[in-house]
Amino acid sequence: MEKTKILALADIHGDSALAKKAAKKASKEKVDMVIIAGDLTWFGQPAKEIVSPFLKNKIPVLTMPGNHDPESISQELSQVYKGIVDIHKKNFEHRGIGFFGTGTTDWGFYEDGKQVYSELQKAHKKIQSLKKKVMISHSPPEGSKIELLGYPGSRAVTEAIKKFNPDFLICGHIHEGGGLIEKIGNTTVINSARKPIIFEI
C-alpha cells in the first residue's frame, strides 16, 4: 500500500514567513496533507496569511486551535477556505488513515486533563476501527523528552496514547521542543513546534 506523506507544523503564531517556508517545503516534497497542531495566530489575529500558502497545493490542511487562538478558529477557517479541515474535537479519514485530535491545552489541572482525554476519546470513536491512526494535540504528552527541558507534558495525552495506540502523535505548544521525535510505547511522537517536519504513514 502506498504511503501518505504529511507535513506537520505547530505554533506558527502569525509568522507568515514561517508559513510560506513550510508551504514551499510541502510543495517541493509533494506531501499529501498538512497538519497544523494549534497556535496559528498570536492572540487571535487574522489567520488568512497563515493558511493561504498551504492551500495552493490543493491538499487537505488539518487545523486546530492552540492556547493563543480562539477556539472557533479552525471551524471558521474550514467554512471560508476549501481544503481546510477542522480537526478540533473531531476526526477525519483520508486514504484509510484516521486522524483525530483536540487543541484544548492541558495546563496540568485535573479538570484540564479530564477535558482533553474526553475530547480525544470522542474524536477517536468513529475512526477506531481503522488500522492506521494519527492523533493530534496541541499539548505534548507526559513522559516526553520535553520534560527534560523542564516543561511538563499532559498526562491525559499520554493516557490517550496508551488507550488508543495511534501510529503517530503530532503536538507542539513548547517551542523549545520543536523538532523532537521519540517513541512512547508504539507511538512515534513528533513535536512540530515552529519546525515543519515531514513523515510518512
Domains of the chain: 5-200 (3.60.21.10)
CB neighbour burial string for 66-76, b if at least 16 within 10 angstroms, e if fewer = bebbeeebbbe
Residue with cell 516543561: 151
Distance CA 56, CA 158 (A): 35
pLDDT in tens, 101-138: 999 999 888 899 999 999 999 999 999 999 999 999 99
Task: Answer yes or no: pTM beyond 0.85.
Answer: yes
Q: Which three cell numbers stand for residue 146?
A: 520535553
Please choose, from the candidates 201, 200, 142, the residue with its C-alpha nearest in 3D space to the C-alpha of residue 173.
142
